Amino acid sequence: ELHFWVVDGESGAGADDAALKPLASALDGLRKSMGPLHFTLDQVVSARTSAGSDGTRIESTTDGGYPRGFDFTVRGIDGEALDLQLVYDDHGQRGLAKFKSEVHLRSGQYVVLAQGPGSCAPALPGKSAPPCPNRPALRLLVVRADILPPQA
């Protein structure tokens, strides 16, 4: 089972979104290296997949109306770890637009897979840009893999 969090980091001290409590240790590491930040959740998506399958695609729509895609394949599971290939595509172009990554994950480990600059959402075609009074300092993609026991 894979979980992906799209998270915005804002400069200065403040409380993190309660939904980000499971990610506290990963976010605390960023605060230690980057200074005072507080984090808000943009989106979380989850999916079950199996190693060696043809791949899985999660297509979601953000609150701003933009499509966001997570195309991933689990290449192998070795005990308590797996190899993940991911193509991320955010049509909202908010800091992390598109990237491809391959990573070895331990089960239960939270990994900041990507970090980009924060930005305000652009206007949808034919519409005006949404208000953005506080531009985020950065955008993160965090992933966690949970290796589930085989089903009988």
Lookup: tokens for 6: 């799209």
Q: Over 60: is that where the pLDDT of 89 sits?
A: yes
Under the banding of pLDDT at 50, 70 and 90, the label for residue 106 is very high
Q: Give residue 65's pLDDT.
A: 73
DSSP 124: P
Q: Give residue 91's pLDDT.
A: 79
Cβ contact 93:106 at 8 Å: no
128 burial level (CB within 10 Å; 0-12, 13-18, 19+) = exposed
| Residue 110 CB coordination number (10 Å) | 19
More confident residue, 98 or 61: 98
Cβ contact 116:139 at 8 Å: yes
Under the banding of pLDDT at 50, 70 and 90, the label for residue 151 is low
Q: Give residue 152's pLDDT.
A: 43
More confident residue, 112 or 149: 112
| Residue 141 CB coordination number (10 Å) | 23
89 residue type, one letter: D
Q: What is the pLDDT of residues 9-62, one digit of tens each?
A: 988 889 999 999 999 999 998 899 999 999 999 899 998 887 776 778 888 887
| Residue 115 CB coordination number (10 Å) | 16
Under the banding of pLDDT at 50, 70 and 90, the label for residue 102 is very high
